[in-house]
């Protein structure tokens, strides 16, 4: 049985200690604790697995495809912008093209071949343009959420529990 020694909400110590628990920088709800018989840490809520470099005060999430990392400032985790692997300009341009190109093609087709004003389905073309934009936007947002491994479902469940408990 593992015993975890914690300082009651006092993480003002600038150094990290193996047997303390720290707030999770991913879900902001659970606590990061040392895993038994391992050199890794895990969150008690979102179950992400981390490694800690105690000298540099650096926390790395190792169960992600990208190396997300945070620095300990003595009170909370701050994003380590030096090692963060952000989406980058090429991915942002691809996302804008993924959202804008199909919407633009449908809008251009509507502009070139407008429906007859007295047609009972004249409302359909603007509706279809809006639906295309929203569908591609949600696809892009889903990919971004999956890329950063943001636990949206877990976060919403945590918010629901917090609202119900108060």
CB 18 within 8 A of CB 32: no
Gap between the Cα atoms of 95 and 140, Å rounded? 6
What pLDDT, on a 0 to 100 scale, did the predictor assign at position 4? 40
Strands (DSSP E) contained in the chain are 22-23, 31-34, 41-43, 49-53, 58-61, 69-72, 77-79
Gap between the Cα atoms of 135 and 95, Å rounded? 13
Gap between the Cα atoms of 100 and 137, Å rounded? 9
- Tens digit of each residue's pLDDT, the chain (166 residues): 344 433 334 444 567 777 888 998 887 788 988 888 888 898 888 788 899 888 888 888 888 766 778 888 888 888 776 555 555 778 889 999 999 999 999 999 999 999 998 899 999 999 999 999 999 999 999 887 776 666 676 677 767 777 887 6
pTM of the model as a whole: 0.54
What pLDDT, on a 0 to 100 scale, did the predictor assign at position 5? 37
Gap between the Cα atoms of 157 and 166, Å rounded? 14
What pLDDT, on a 0 to 100 scale, did the predictor assign at position 156? 74
* 125 C-beta neighbours (distance < 10 Å), count: 18
What pLDDT, on a 0 to 100 scale, did the predictor assign at position 108? 97
């Amino acid at each position: 049985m593992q015993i975890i020694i914690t300082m009651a909400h006092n993480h003002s110590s600038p150094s990290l200690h193996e047997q303390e628990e720290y707030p999770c920088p991913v879900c902001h709800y659970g606590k990061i604790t040392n895993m038994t018989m391992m050199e890794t840490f895990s969150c008690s809520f979102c179950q992400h697995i981390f490694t800690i470099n105690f000298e540099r005060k650096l926390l790395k999430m190792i169960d992600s495809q990208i190396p997300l990392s945070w620095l300990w400032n003595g009170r909370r985790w701050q994003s380590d912008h030096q090692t963060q692997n952000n989406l980058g300009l090429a991915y942002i341009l691809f996302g804008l093209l993924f959202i804008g190109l199909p919407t633009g093609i449908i809008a251009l087709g509507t502009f070139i071949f407008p429906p007859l004003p007295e047609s009972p389905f004249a409302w359909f073309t603007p509706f279809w343009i809006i639906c295309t934009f929203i569908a591609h936007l949600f696809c892009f947002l889903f990919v971004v959420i999956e890329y950063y491994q943001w636990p949206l479902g877990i976060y919403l469940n945590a918010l629901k529990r917090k609202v119900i408990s108060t």
